[in-house]
Structures are given as C-alpha cells and as structure tokens.
Structure 1
Amino acid sequence: MKLSDKIAQHAGEHPFFTFEFFPPKTDLGFENLLSRVTRLAALHPLAVSVTWGAGGSTKERSLDLASFTQSNGMDTILHLTCTNMMQGTVDEALREAKARGVENILALRGDPPRGEEYWIPTDSRFSHATDLVRYIRSSPEFSSEFCIGVAAYPDGHADHETGEVDELEYLKQKINAGADFIFTQLFYDVNNFIEWVKKVRQKGITVPIIPSIMPLQTYASFLRMTKLAGTRVPPSLMEDLMPIRHDDQLVKDYGVDLAIRMIRKIAAESDIPGVHLSTLNLEVSVIRILEELGWAGGPLHPTNRLIADTTQESASRVITPHCATDSAATILAMSGPQTEGEAGKGELNNAVGWDDFPNGRFGDFKSPAYGNTDQWGSTGLSRKQTLEQWGNPKTVDDLTQIFLLHLQSKIATTPFSPTPLSPESLMIFPHLEKLTRRGWWTICSQPAVNGAPSTDEVLGWGPGDGYVYQKCFVEFFAEREDVDKLEQKVAEAGNGWVHYFAGNVQGECRTNVSEDGRNAVTWGVFPGQEVVQTTIIEKESFITWKDEAFSIWAEWASFYPPDSPERQLLEGIRNRRWLVSIVHHDYIDPDALWTFLFSKEEPLV
C-alpha cells in the first residue's frame, strides 16, 4: 500500500512510526537481520524503509531486503539514489521494486558527482533528487505505481553552502515535481525542528513531514554521525553527555530517554503525523522507546520482552582511526534453543539476543548491524576535501608523506581515516610512524591491553566497574614482495602467535587463519555478565573491507583529470598494492607485535 494512503487512513491513538534498515555487507549478517526485522515487525510499524548504497553499491542486497519486508506484510519504502547510476539502472531498479510489490520510493540525490569537472555523467537525466522525482512522475510506466518521498534537512545540508531560504526552495521544487511525503535527516535540536516545520508550511508545502529520530548508541558514533550529517548539537546535549561519555551503557540509556523526550515534544508542538526511527539495524533501544511512549501495541512477544528488559547490554567503541562502517556483535540475552554452529555449541551467538553498539570497521560478521550505517548512502569523500588536505600526489613518496602527516596530526584525515588519529593509536605512534616511513601505509590499529578499567578515558568502553582487554593489530598497504616476506616470517618465526590476512584488488587472499577461524581481538569482563567479545577479525569481514578499501583508492583517483600523474599514481597503487592485517595474540606483552615486526633477526622493517 502507498504510504500517503496509509498516512491518510491512520487513526490511531498516537502518531505512527516507521523503521529504517540497511542491508548488512555479509551473507550471515543479512540472514540474521531477517530474524531481527521479523521481531520488530511485531511492533506493527506503519512501514519500513530500506537504504540504498551510493551509486547502487548495495543494489542487490537492498532489493532482496525490500522483497523480504514487503512479502512479510510490511509496506516498504525503498531508498533510491540517482547520481553515479549506470545508464538504465534507475529504470531497472524501479521495475524490480515494482515486481517485488514495493509501492514507495524515497528519492535521493546520493553522492555528489565525484571529481566534478573530471566526472563523466553516467546518466545526464539525473543530477538531483528533483530529477528523479520528475522522471518517475512523467513516466507512463511508473507514474501511478509509486508514492514518492524526498529528504529534507532541518539543520541544513552538509554538502551545501546555501542558506535556509535556498534549502526551502529546493525542497519546494521536489514537492512541485510530484513528491508525496518528506523524511528528514537526523537532528537533535527539537526547537529548531519545530520552527523549521513552520517555515516549510509557510512555503506552501503541505505534504506529511516525518522526522527521523536516531537514538544514541555510543558517544563516539554520535560524534561521527552528527559530523557526517552536519547536525546541530544543542549545548545542553553535550553538557549532559560529557560526564557519561566513557560509559557506553549510560550513553545508550540517555539516548533512549532523549529520543522519548524529543518525540513527545514534537508530537505536542507540531503537526507531524508520525516519526521515522533510524534503527541502525539494532532493536533494544527501539523497543524501549516505543514501550515508554506506550506505542508498542500491547504486551511484547516474549523474545522482545527479554530484550527490552535487558539493562546491562553489550557495549563497544570505535577502536581505530578508520570508520568506514559501524559494526559490532555480542550477546547478553537470549531466548529459544541454542544450536550448534560454526563457533561451536555453547557460544552465545544466536542473533535473537543481539543488540550491537557501533564499533568501528571490525565487528562480528554475523551481526545484523555489520555494514554501512550512513542514512543517505554517502561515502564521505569530496573533491574539495581531497585537494585541500591531500593535494596532488604524484609519487609514492608523496603518498607516504600524506599518511605521515596524518599520523603526526598535521592533517585531520586521509581517505581511509575520516578522523584525526585516535588517542589510543597515539599510544603506539612510534611504531605506526616507523611502518609508514617504510612505505607500509597504516590505516587501522590498536595497542595491546591487559585489563584496563572500563572507565579509562582512552581505552575504556562498556559499563562501569569492568575491565577491557585487546590484542595488538595493525593494518596497512604494502607491495607484493613485502607480503611474500611477511608470509615467510610468520611461518618461520610466528610460533602460532601471529595471524594475518592479505588481499589485493584482483581478489587474491592469503592467510594463515583456518577457513572457519575467527580472532577475537577486543573483549570485556563486567560484573554479572558473560565475557563480551566486541571485535572479531575473520576472513569474510576482511574481504568485505578489503573490497571497500580498494574502491576508495579508485574514488580518490577519480578526483584528478584522466591521464594526470595523480590519477595514474593512485590507480597504479590500487592495482599493485595489497591490504594487510596482522594480529599478535600475546596481549600481555604490549610490544609483542612490534618485536616480531622489527626484530634484528631478519627484520621486516
């Protein structure tokens, strides 16, 4: 059913709610998400939305997920971006959505054209979301088939330098082109949102406005997401978070309370008909919010009750300078029979009880939350940032200098690390610098930790009164001959303590980890709980990230003119280098990995 019709017919005692999901990057994560979606469906959302990766990068998984939700009785809103789509891809996506019974599309621009003047349009019909709305509405094939939504930005568009007046005019153009409803970008300044709604109405826009609410999960992920979205953060919110920022459980509890207060105020002081809950593929916070609001529609299913009653949940944190995806996995509550699986009988790895905290790139590949959580499908790179921070590299030494400047905090980011070097990585700065000067460009790392208090300002995570542990690992780009030497040294001198993965853009993957092996490299011990494993490195997640990392090299190259020295260098690096991840299992000795890499006997570096 079309969302506009469902909204018009909605006559409940409270505003409606919708859920947003994204397709996980791994097959097992996708499979486990289906169970989570089924449980959340018992709360009776008016509809659910499924995100679409930049340039159609998640096309198949997005369509598969939308097919599942639609066929299981949940009216589905499929996000669809229009830039960087291959010729005919929009038509193909619309036809496939129609074939799956999907009647609602959220029309988005997606990433801005990469490389600007060097970018060759893949389909000249689509440069903005307005173009996509107008195209669907003017198409005899699609015009009557779809209800169309568009995005709006109460805090302004992160990619635009235009003012509010221009943003409202852009929104008006999308509505005039034929849009039926509006989803907003995430926000936390409710007063500003309420005033923004009034301005939208004064502009003559009368379609339903549905605010997106994203509950806080961790302090680090909150900072990253708000920066990415250009979200205005009220000073009072930061004042509340500062004293609890190192206790992930308290931050998550605060996030639930904040969302409840936001929704109640919005419902009382604006004409919104419902709210859109951006779940990040998590369920505990969503269930708690709806229960507290009294919107859960009666007693919860026992499975959801168990999850909702979980007060000491799993927690994790961003552990590396790289944040390409947000994922973590852990179980602290569980219902139903355990089954034997790849991890063995007795391990609490049933997805029923999972609720994951964002945890940087690495997590558990089984997690329903393993993947890209960006709400609108952006990669986060821009040509302006490229030229301002990374200049015009023409040689390998130029690239080495860029990675060194980031380590030395002289530039804020690299294409692989969208934030400054973390305080945790600063603890192993001399080793990272030595590797990078060698030409092994480090992009991800963590020091060994043996029982740091969970309240430690640099290393701590999770609830208070616990202890956290981690094995040292480092990740870098290196030449094939370096991989050969590393592989030989691990075999001769690793003594079972060192595991590695190495892969290239051609699809080759080398490792000394067994096919079903998994390395838990971060875990925590907290009173009254199972041991919590929040970061796991294994083959499927490494390959998933490896493919993404090499696509970043390609995108970086696209910012420079064809046949330029910069593009030739970056494309050559992409085609020639390997991504290497290496971990040492001796977490008692903080220098174990570095001693292995830098030993005087046949040193690698």
Structure 2
Amino acid sequence: MKLTEKIAAYRLNRPFYTFEFFPPKTDEGFENLLSRVARLASLGPLALSVTWGAGGSTKDRSLELAGLIQNVEKVDTILHLTCTNMEGGMVDDALRAAKERGIQNILALRGDPPRGEEYWIPTDPRFTHGADLVSYIRSSPEFSSSFSIGVAAYPDGHADRDSDEDGELDYLKAKVDAGADFIMTQLFYDCDNFLRWLKKVRGKGITIPVIPSIMPLQTYASFLRLTKFCGSRVPDSVVSALEPIRHDDAQVKEYGIALAIDMVKRLTASGDVAGLHFCTLNLEKSVRRVIEGLGWAGGSPEIRNKLITDMPNGADSIDFEATMTITPTSASDSATKGLIDSTSLPPDAGRGEINNASSWDEYPNGRFGDFKSPAFGEQDQWGGPVITRGEALANWGQPKTVSDLTEIFLRHLRGEIDSTPFSHGPLSPESMLILKQLEKLNRKGWWTVGSQPAVDGVRSTDEVFGWGPPSGYVYQKGFVEFFATQEDVDQIEKKIKEDGGGWVDYFAGNFEGQCRSNVPDGGRNAVTWGVFPGQEVLQTTIIERESFLSWKDEAFSIWSEWATFYAPDSEERKLLEGIRDQRWLVSIVHHDYKEASALWSFLGEL
C-alpha cells in the first residue's frame, strides 16, 4: 500500500512511525537482520525503509532486503533510491525491480545541484537533481501510478551545499512541485530549530506530510561522527549532558533513549507532526525502548486495519483496547498469539541470534564489530558518497606519482591535512602514541589506513583508551592495516612464517579478489576487549576473514571513486587506478598485548 494512502487512512490514537534499515555487508549479518526486522515489525510501524548505497553500490542487497520485508514480513516498504552517479539504465532497472516486488514507495534522494566539472563515471544524463528523479517517475507511463514518492529535507542545512536556508527550501519546493508525496528529514537534535524550519516550509506552500527523522544515540563516538557528517546542530543542553558520561557507552545509550523520547513528545505536541521516522542503524534495543517508553508498543496497524475491513460495521464494531491488550515482546511471542504468521519468519526469529546477539550491538563500532551482526558495516543515513571532489582537490591535490601519494599520507600523520580518502578526520589520541611507527611505515610506502597500539589493562575511564561502564579494564592487541605491493606482501608472509612464532596473524587481499592469510578458516581475532563487573568479557573489535574481505572491497572502491575526480587518461586517474589494480591491503595483528613494542619491532625487522 502507498504510504500517503496509509497516512490518510491512519486512525490510531498515537502518531505513526516508520523504521529504517540498511543492507548489512556480510551474508551472516544479512540473515540475522531478518529476525531483527521481524521483532521490530511487531511494534506496529506504518512502514519500513531500506537504504540504497551511493551510485547503486548496494543495489542487489537493497532490493533483496526490501523484497523480503514487503513479501515475507508483509510490511509496506519504502525503497531509498539515489540518482547521482548511477550508470545509464540503473534507475529504470531499480524501479522495475521494485514494482515487480510489490513495493509501492520510493524515497527519491540526491537532490544536489550539478557539481560542475567533476569527472564522474558514466551516468544517466536524465538525472542531475533529485527533482529530476521525481519528475521522471511521475512522467513515466510505466511508473507514474506505481509509486508514492518521498524526498529528503535538511532542517539543519545540507552538509554538501553552500546554499542558505531559503535556497534549500527552493530545492525542496522544486521536488514537491515535481510530484513528491511526502518528505523525510535528515536526522537532527535541535527540536526548536526544526519547528522553526517547519513553519518556513509551510509558509512556502508545501502542504504534504513532513516526517522528522530521529536517531537515538548509541555511542559518543558515533554521535560525533554522524552529527559532523550531517552538519547537525547540537543544542548546548545535549553537549552538557553528554560531556560527563562520554566514556560510558551504557550511560550514553540510556541518555540517547531519554533524549529521543523527549524529542518525540516535543515534536508531536506541536500539532504539525503526525508521524516520525526512526533511523535504527540496524540496532534493536534503543528503538524498541523508545517506542515502549512512549507507550506506543502494541498490535500492528495492518492487523487493526484488517479487523476493520473484516467487521460488518468497520471500526465502530471493535473495542481496540480490549482487542489488543497484549504487547508482543518478540516475533516468536507474536506468532504464538496469532498476530504474525510463524511460517513467514526466519528459523531463529525471536530466539536471539547465535552467539549471544545482544552483545553484538552494545558498543557498535562500524566494520570492527562482529561480522555476524546486522549492524556490521554501519552506513550513513542517505547513502552519500565517501568523498567529494572538492575535498579531494583541496586536501590531496593532483597526485601524479607514488611519492605524491606517500606525501599525502605523511601530511595527514603530521596534522597538515585533516583527512585522507580512508580516514575522515585527524589522528585519534591513541594513534598519536604510535605516530613515529606509523610515519616509518608510510615513508616505506606502506600507506596506513587503520591501527591501534597494544594496551594491557587500563581503566575503562581512561581518557584515551577507555570505553564501557566504569569499574572495568580494557585491553588491546596492536594491529595495523596498510596498502603494499605484492613484493612486500611476499616478504611479510615469509617473515611471519619464519619468525612470527605463532604471535602474528595477517590477512592480505587485492582488487582482483585474491586473499592470503595464516588465520585458519573460522578463526577470529578479538583485538579489543573489556572486563566489567557482572558481565561476560565484551569483545568490541574483531578481525576475521569475512570482515576483512568486506572492508577490502570497500577500500579498493575508494581508490576507484577517488580516481573519478580526475579526467579520463589524466596522470592522476592512471596513477590511482593503477594503485587499485596492483596494491594489496594488508592487516597484521600481534597477539602479545603485554609488550607495547611487539608489533612495531617485528615490522621494523622487515
């Protein structure tokens, strides 16, 4: 069913809400997400949305996930669709695939203006603005009546554009005039600013539903990363509340739940917010607790609508309070009460995924988490590009030689530039402790993209290494990841085999898909863990084959994307594509965490 039709017919005595998911990068994460989706679906969302990677990078996974939600979980699905950097025909293919799966809702994204002289890979010339995508769908005989179309809006301003608020509202109005049916906003934390902005939206003559996006805080680090990426305004009250608890992830999560509940109450009290969109990051606990804390958990609107349809006198025949007095606590509970068809659920739905799934997402850490987690490989909300051409030229210039690339990585280590294509910020405080060792590797031409020093039990409240609740200790094994030539990989492999003594593990992979390692199949190296009162040992950073291969593919795609910012046949593009084709990504772990210099001494002997 189309979202606009569902909103118009919505009659429950609480605001409606939708949940957002992204397709996990690993097969295990994808499989385990399905049981999580089933449990969250029992909370009664009006629809579930699925993100779409930049340039169609998650096309197959996004369509598969959206199709399963629509046809197996029987929840109406909103498929995100971006048009920027999409190769010719991909938009038609995606719309056709969505239609075949019974999906009737599209969130049409990437409303950026043309980026001047950027050298993108071949794109579909019909689409340079988000409004073009909306207009195309509305004017297409094949698709015009098939979809309800949503568009994005940015209450705090668009992070990739220099236009002022009035200019942004002009962009939004153009998308609405092109045929958009509803608006979903970028995440924000300043409710006062949102409500002020919403009045300006209405003053612009935009009357379609505006659905604000809420993302409960998970960790302090992820909060900083996401708000910086999105350009979100953060109220002083939020900053003050987070400062004393920033090292205690459990308290940050609790505060995030309370903050989200308070934001929802303030927004819905305004009278112009009838529903909300929750960005889950594929995590379950916080969103569930927010919905339960608001007193909104209960039977699904689809179930209630079915009851209305089946009863002779419609809604007047049903006492909803008597009909839906039990709130399912899991998908399996729902199935036993007849609320969900148990044959539609994955085999382990509702029982918790294998290997204590609850611990996967306590301290979400992007790709470094457990590859079985549905949240593995955390993405940004709108599937934006990893880097922009403006950033590439301003920070990294016109690299024409291997020496030029080495200098870029060294300048980042020296603090002369604040990012590389692989590191979107300055060095962390812990990296500063191994700065000399990292500089030595980079001068050798081993360009580092990830590392950490060894730590033998520092307090969890430590300013540099601490995480988790207080009264605990945290540990780290030293590891480093870098790009190197095949000759270097051969040398490293030989050194580890002859002199590693069982203390050193490695993975090495290239663009062609080859992978070399001394880690046995199924081997998993926990390189960050914590010991806390009343809990099992928590492992927050794990390196194993599946996660390495996932990251390897992403890392080489960054070389490809970086290359597209330079003209075809230019020296810069030839260099970057040559590096992508010839270098290997190497990940090395030294297991002697009691000896801080063990990893670096071993590498220094090469």
Could you tell me the percent identity over the aligned residues? 67
CA RMSD of aligned residues (A): 1.8
User: Does structure 2 retain, via aligned residues, the 8 Å contact 1:282–1:369?
Assistant: yes
Separation (CA, whole Å) in 2 of partners of 1:303 and 1:530? 24
Instruction: Tell me by how many angstroms 1:351 deviates.
Output: 3.3
For each residue in 1:231-286, what CA deviation from the matched residue of structure 2 results, as whole angstroms up to 9, or x when unmatched? Answer: 11112211111111111111111111110110000001141110000000001101
Q: Where in structure 2 are the equivalents of 1:385-424 lying within 5 Å?
A: 385-424=391-430
Separation (CA, whole Å) in 2 of partners of 1:204 and 1:161? 24
Separation (CA, whole Å) in 2 of partners of 1:546 and 1:120? 21
Separation (CA, whole Å) in 2 of partners of 1:555 and 1:242? 37
The corresponding residue for 1:317 is none
Instruction: Tell me by how many angstroms 1:113 deviates.
Output: 6.7
Q: Does 1:96 align with 2:97?
A: yes
Q: Does 1:31 align with 2:31?
A: yes
The corresponding residue for 2:206 is 205
Q: Where in structure 2 are the equivalents of 1:139-218 lying within 5 Å?
A: 139-218=140-219
Separation (CA, whole Å) in 2 of partners of 1:235 and 1:384? 31
Separation (CA, whole Å) in 2 of partners of 1:337 and 1:126? 43
Q: Does 1:572 align with 2:587?
A: no
Q: 3-state SS of the aligned residue for 1:358?
A: coil
The corresponding residue for 2:328 is 301
The corresponding residue for 1:590 is 596
Separation (CA, whole Å) in 1 of partners of 2:601 and 2:484? 19
The corresponding residue for 1:227 is 228
- Mark the CA change 1:158 to 1:368 in structure 2 (over 3 Å): closer, same or farther: same
Separation (CA, whole Å) in 1 of partners of 2:539 and 2:164? 45
User: Does structure 2 retain, via aligned residues, the 8 Å contact 1:115–1:558?
Assistant: no
Structure 2: give runs of 5+ residues left out of the alignment: 299-324, 334-348
User: Does structure 2 retain, via aligned residues, the 8 Å contact 1:83–1:112?
Assistant: no
- Mark the CA change 1:101 to 1:164 in structure 2 (over 3 Å): closer, same or farther: same
The corresponding residue for 1:483 is 489
Q: Which moved more, 1:558-567 or 1:269-278?
A: 558-567
Instruction: Tell me by how many angstroms 1:454 deviates.
Output: 0.8
Paired positions, count: 564
The corresponding residue for 1:546 is 552
Q: Where in structure 2 are the equivalents of 1:593-604 lying within 5 Å?
A: 593-598=599-604, 603-604=605-606
Instruction: Tell me by how many angstroms 1:122 deviates.
Output: 1.3
User: Does structure 2 retain, via aligned residues, the 8 Å contact 1:115–1:383?
Assistant: no
TM-score (norm 2): 0.90
- Mark the CA change 1:121 to 1:572 in structure 2 (over 3 Å): closer, same or farther: closer
Separation (CA, whole Å) in 1 of partners of 2:327 and 2:525? 36
The corresponding residue for 2:133 is 132
- Mark the CA change 1:64 to 1:111 in structure 2 (over 3 Å): closer, same or farther: farther
For each residue in 1:371-424, what CA deviation from the matched residue of structure 2 results, as whole angstroms up to 9, or x when unmatched? Answer: 242111012311111111111111111111111111111110000000100001
The corresponding residue for 1:521 is 527
Separation (CA, whole Å) in 2 of partners of 1:105 and 1:67? 13
TM-score (norm 1): 0.90
User: Does structure 1 retain, via aligned residues, the 8 Å contact 2:182–2:209?
Assistant: yes
Separation (CA, whole Å) in 2 of partners of 1:172 and 1:240? 36
Separation (CA, whole Å) in 1 of partners of 2:602 and 2:216? 43
Structure 1: give runs of 5+ residues left out of the alignment: 307-333, 339-347
Instruction: Tell me by how many angstroms 1:81 deviates.
Output: 0.4
The corresponding residue for 1:42 is 42
Q: 3-state SS of the aligned residue for 2:269?
A: helix
The corresponding residue for 2:12 is 12
The corresponding residue for 2:344 is none
Q: Where in structure 2 are the equivalents of 1:43-442 lying within 5 Å?
A: 43-71=43-71, 72-109=73-110, 116-119=117-120, 121-297=122-298, 299-303=326-330, 336=351, 349-351=355-357, 354-442=360-448
User: Does structure 1 retain, via aligned residues, the 8 Å contact 2:281–2:378?
Assistant: no
For each residue in 1:126-153, what CA deviation from the matched residue of structure 2 results, as whole angstroms up to 9, or x when unmatched? Answer: 1111001000110111111100000000
The corresponding residue for 1:341 is none
For each residue in 1:409-457, what CA deviation from the matched residue of structure 2 results, as whole angstroms up to 9, or x when unmatched? Answer: 1110000000100001111111111111111111100111111111111
Structure 2 letter corresponding to 1:108? L
Q: Does 1:537 align with 2:548?
A: no
- Mark the CA change 1:597 to 1:81 in structure 2 (over 3 Å): closer, same or farther: same
